[in-house]
Amino acid sequence: MRPPLDTPENVEPGNHVAALLRPESAADPSLTSRELASRAFRDALGGFATGVTVLTALAPDGQPVGVTISSFNSVSLQPPLILWSLACDSPRLEAFRRSRHYAVNVLAADQEWISDRFASRDADRFSGVHTIAGMGGVPLLHGCAACFECSSEAHYPGGDHIIFVGRVSRFSRNELAAPLIFHGGRYRVLSDAS
């Protein structure tokens, strides 16, 4: 089982994405019809393979913050814009809302442990993680498949999430690193086999 991606951090321990994506979870008689519909929607979304990213920034007190997300997309080439979202009840929401800069670190296939760390409730998520300082001092994770350093362009309400739009100021790509993929409630790795 793997920790949840893009979910509030106040979810009970053990309530992982994989558990939500099992078909038998829909048969739980204690669930309301709204909960069943929400889980069915989540199951359908799980059919879309995504990359795994860790968003990093500095909190107003200068402490590094980071969170694992899979809700990351390109928006525009001119100007270079990206978007991502974070749950409204995430304890890190205000730090990202108030940040002038943040980084989207696209994890490599060998960085599952980093995804797990930044999706956990661990108070010191950066312990043992090699970083370098990027724009505005934002920590950039070493060894990623790609990294996008952004200035905060805008944020918008989006249901139970806030949608962030960032203007990419700098980016880098590690052509030798295969990306970490999330699909159907599990981590996956791209294969060259057709």
Check residue 96 and give its pLDDT.
96
pTM of the entire predicted model? 0.80
Coil, helix or strand at residue 93: helix
Residue 31 placed within a domain: no
Q: Torsions phi, psi of 112, nearest 5?
A: -55, -40
Q: How many domains does the chain have?
A: 1
- CATH number at 129 reads 2.30.110.10
Q: pLDDT > 90: what percent of the chain?
A: 62
Give the residue from 103, 116, 107, 119 showing the smallest Cα distance to 164: 103
Whether 80 maps to a domain, the answer reads yes
Residue 41 resides in a domain: no
Residue 120 forms part of a structural domain = yes
Phi, psi of 104, deg, nearest 5:
-105, 110
In a domain, 192, yes or no: no
Residue 112 lies in a domain: yes
User: Does residue 56 contact residue 105 with C-beta atoms inside 8 Å?
Assistant: yes
Alpha-carbon gap, residue 6 to 55, rounded angstroms? 11
- pLDDT for 16 beyond 50: no
The lowest-confidence range among 37-41, 74-78, 80-84, 186-190 is: 37-41
In whole angstroms, how far apart are CA 162 and each of 15, 17, 92? 22, 20, 12
Q: What residues make up the domain containing 74?
A: 51-184
Residue 93, domain member (yes or no): yes
In a domain, 138, yes or no: yes
SS3 content of the chain, % helix, strand, coil (to 5): 20, 40, 40
